[in-house]
Amino acid sequence: MADEKLPDLPVGWIGTGRMGAAMARRLARAGADLTVWNRTRSKAEALIPDGARVAESLDELAGCHLVFTTVSASADLETVLTGPGGLLDGRASVPSIIVDCSTVSTGTSAVMRAAAQERGAAFLAAPVSGNGKVAAAGRLSLVVSGPEETYAQAEPFLRKIAATVTYAGEGEAARLVKICHNLLLGVLTQSLAEIAVLAERGGVSRAALLDFVNGSVLGSAFTKYKTPAFVHLDYTPTFTPVLLRKDLDLGLAAARELGVPMPLAAVTQQLVQGAISTGRGAEDFAVLLDLQAASAGLRLEPEIAEVDDGLG
């Protein structure tokens, strides 16, 4: 399906930050009739060479068949959909389908779903796994929930954006899946930081350790993605501790609601908070490595070694 021609339908996109722009660019390059809007217009204009048009306001997206949203937090989603001047705020027409690819709470998602349905629009929750670089390489993963017939209509567009698309069921199932995913993301990163510091304290380079891990049964796309950051100490942000803390908070709130103890996630949340409190909140979340080293009394230096992030 990834190679099929897209249906000839107008598509809108709200939110062209680091992740949203990379996803929208794949859709534009696949031939979608795409109009984009962003609060900071210059970020949307960067997609013009890829074939996208830039909307002056959300009014221009109201007539689209399908509109994607990719924003940073629950409050931002509420603003662009139901806030004053939002996509669903008192308009004569609204899109047939809204696909939200943000990571927001299940509660916010349910409220936005109800607001969309009240206006006659179908709503899909479609949070994404990956970052802007992964999106550009065409290796994102999407998990989607909502009406199955709506998913079938949106699927051709979704498969132009992501390498894998998983339908999780009705309602907010996709939100819980993504929250679980990001809880694991945080715990894995902290674990990777701990073993890297242990190995280095014992005289093993981080490059050697990660080369072994990446080639073992424990290696994964994620450990490969993070290898350059860990080896070169390059904390150019792909996903920040502030965003990771938000997702850990969402996960721990869901765990409380469902009565599930999550001790590892709770400890990781505090360690991520430590990164933010020490002024490292705007860097990549791989900065957990520096904090782990500091707690062990170890000063890290970038290693000069050729490593691969697995993205080709």
Q: Show me where the domains of the chain are located.
A: 10-171, 176-295
Please state which CATH number belongs to domain 176-295.
1.10.1040.10
Backbone angles phi, psi at 124, to 5 degrees: -120, 130
pLDDT of 249 > 80? The answer is: yes
- Residue 93 contacts by C-beta under 8 Å, 6 or more apart in sequence? 62, 63
Count of CB atoms situated within 10 Å of the CB of 302:
10
CA angle 256, 262, 264 (to 5 degrees): 145
Return d(Cα 47, Cα 35) in angstroms, integer. 10
pLDDT of 16 > 90? The answer is: yes
Predicted confidence (pLDDT) per residue in 154-193, tens digit: 999 999 999 999 999 999 999 999 999 999 999 999 999 9
Average pLDDT over residues 9-28: 95
Please state which CATH number belongs to domain 10-171.
3.40.50.720
pTM above 0.85, yes or no: yes
Backbone angles phi, psi at 151, to 5 degrees: -55, -40
Predicted confidence (pLDDT) per residue in 59-114, tens digit: 999 999 999 999 988 899 999 999 999 999 988 899 999 999 998 888 999 999 99
pLDDT of 141 > 80? The answer is: yes
More confident residue, 2 or 66: 66
For residues 144 and 120, the answer to whether their CB atoms sit within 8 Å is: no
Count of CB atoms situated within 10 Å of the CB of 1:
9
For residues 51 and 71, the answer to whether their CB atoms sit within 8 Å is: no
pLDDT at 297: 96
pLDDT at 303: 97
Mean pLDDT of the chain: 94
Backbone angles phi, psi at 97, to 5 degrees: -135, 135
Return d(Cα 143, Cα 165) in angstroms, integer. 6
Q: Place 3 in a pLDDT band, splitting at 50, 70 and 90.
A: low
For 215-287, where are the alpha helices, taking DSSP H only?
A: 221-232, 241-258, 263-275
Write the DSSP string, 92-157: S---SEEEE-S---HHHHHHHHHHHHHTT-EEEE--EES-HHHHHTT--EEEEES-HHHHHHHHHH
Percent of the chain with pLDDT over 90: 88
Count of CB atoms situated within 10 Å of the CB of 152:
10
